Chains A and B, each alone.
Chain A
Amino acid sequence: MSISTPGGPERRPTVVSTGKKPAAGRPAAGDKPAGGKSGAGKGAPRPTAGGKGRKPVAPVKVSQGRAWGPIALFVAVGVLAVGIIGWGAWAVYKGSKPWQDRADAISGVVDFRKKDKDLVQGGKHQQGPIKYDVLPPVAGPHNASWQNCMGDVYDAPIANEHAVHSLEHGTVWITYRPDLPADQVAKLKEKVQGKEKLMLSPFEGLDKPISLQAWGFQLKVDNADDGRIDEFIKTLRVNASVEGPNANCAQGVTATGTTPRDMGNQMDQPTQ
């Protein structure tokens, strides 16, 4: 660093050997006052004493030259440390951002958990037809049997009373207006088929071509290529379940038709 020091080259070797000792314990700060002192004290112009002598010429310049290096290093290390800590904290914060926040961040999503807390509390079992205020329904009381939600693709409307129970089990239910073009329906089918906790069905009277439901959440979009569909599925499938990932989607109603079937009929049917 301070190459400007007079008599530098010859002196360096001796100084290096002595300078090493205090190096580990007392860093840069040590030579700043030292430089200042020598400047204020003596004006002896010749460094004839060799290694032990003071540095007499242009002391202020020398001391500044020595100080900047350590300061720069300290600042650099500090910035690096703060950067690492900051990045780490940000990564941890972002990584643990709860799915609810991520769901709310999807543009156009309606969060009924905030809008209507009573509606999204655990659903009560209730027999027979049920009137839902939000259509397609997103939560509320429902029949004891759920609609089979093992990636089932239904080609006709299904009963809300069963579908809501599937939502409670963590299903994302995709509904589309019956006039949705076949190629669009095919795209939706591809997203759903064979994947548990997903199901697809047409729904009469939708105000938008496609509507996605999870327990307490709804998103309406205009076409099957909308990127928010995948985002909605990834964020809310299973996560939105009020009963956790082990809630069953099999053994449900596999028939279509908007009239709910009561538990008795469903359970009687398959047994020997």
Chain B
Amino acid sequence: MTAPVTTDPELDETAADDGRPAARRYGLLAVALAVVVGLLLGYAGGLLTPTLTRPGEGSPEAGFARDMTTHHAQAVEMGLMAFQQGEDPEVRQIGGDIATGQQGEIGTMQTWLRSWKLDPTGDQAPMAWMPDGARSVKNGLMPGMATPEEMAKLRSAKGREFDLLFLQMMIKHHIGGVHMLDAVLKQGHDDDVLAVAQVMKNTQQTDLTNLVAAQKRLGGQP
């Protein structure tokens, strides 16, 4: 920092001999000042680094955390319906599992946003954080999400009809979810986000295997 100050080519050593006491005083002052400025800069840098390096408002991480919260919230709603309305024991079990599991993941994602000092929700269009995101949005809904009409139909369904409808909708929902997870795994930089997204993907793929098997067992159409 002080380096440029000292490059005066005319510095005269003999003269400096005579002026030693005064020179030392000014020199000390300059060094002290340089140290103080250096410390302040270091402090500011330390203070700023997390702000500059953590995911920001427009980052793929923030977009993912917000959109996946919405995506998960609907899976929780469907899972709770299955837990309450399902006829087949496995459908009820899977429903409860998905609801509690994904609600927990919502908590994780919301905690990220909080620690990044971002609002829990954004004002960006759904999937705007994905390069090809806008194309995968249909009627304002993210990939795999059910329309209000489909949700109303599921809500009023009963017995085996409910089970099959639930399985069909949840399979579609999970396929969309895996698509979003692949995107953040490709674009994300935050280690924690990547690790959690990988776990989410593992879970949804295991779920998919079991959902498809249950659908087959109950004689439903893929």
Contact = CB atoms under 8 A, between A and B. Distances in A.
Interface in A5-34: 5, 8, 12, 15-16, 18-19, 22-34
A264 B215 CA distance: 32
A73 interface: yes
Interface string A77-121: 110010011001101100110010000000000000000000000
Interface in B1-49: 1-16, 18-19, 22-27, 29-31, 33-34, 37, 40-41, 43-45, 47-48
Contact of A194 (B16, B23, B41, B140): B140
A85 B40 contact: yes
Contacts of B14: 52-54
B5 A73 contact: yes
B22 A251 contact: no
Among B2, B3, B29, B51, the most chain A Cβ lie within 10 Å of the Cβ of B2
B222 interface: no
B120 A251 contact: no
Contact of A26 (B30, B77, B122): B30
Interface in B37-75: 37, 40-41, 43-45, 47-48, 51, 69-70, 73-74
B13 A18 contact: yes
Task: Provide the main secondary structure of the chain B interface.
Answer: helix
Contact of A41 (B13, B18, B51): B18
B37 A92 contact: no
Contacts of B123: 230, 233-234
Interface string B154-178: 0100110000000000000000000
Contacts of B131: none
B90 interface: no
Nearest to B77: A250
B122 to A, nearest CB: 7
A19 B5 CA distance: 13
B117 interface: yes
A89 B26 CA distance: 31
Contacts of A89: 44, 47
B73 A28 contact: no
Nearest to B26: A29
A91 B47 CA distance: 10
Contacts of A74: 5, 30, 33
Contacts of B25: 29
A31 B37 CA distance: 22
B121 interface: yes
B107 interface: yes
Interface residues of A, number: 76
A24 B12 contact: no
Contacts of B107: 245-246
B85 A29 contact: no
B103 interface: yes
B82 to A, nearest CB: 11
A114 to B, nearest CB: 21
A30 B9 contact: no
B97 interface: no
23 contacts: A18-B11, A27-B31, A28-B6, A28-B30, A41-B18, A55-B15, A66-B8, A77-B37, A84-B41, A85-B43, A85-B44, A89-B47, A99-B119, A153-B148, A194-B141, A196-B69, A196-B73, A196-B74, A233-B121, A234-B123, A239-B119, A254-B152, A271-B84
Given A18-B11, A248-B80, 13 more contacts: A15-B10, A26-B30, A28-B30, A29-B27, A32-B26, A33-B26, A34-B15, A34-B23, A55-B10, A239-B120, A245-B106, A245-B110, A250-B73
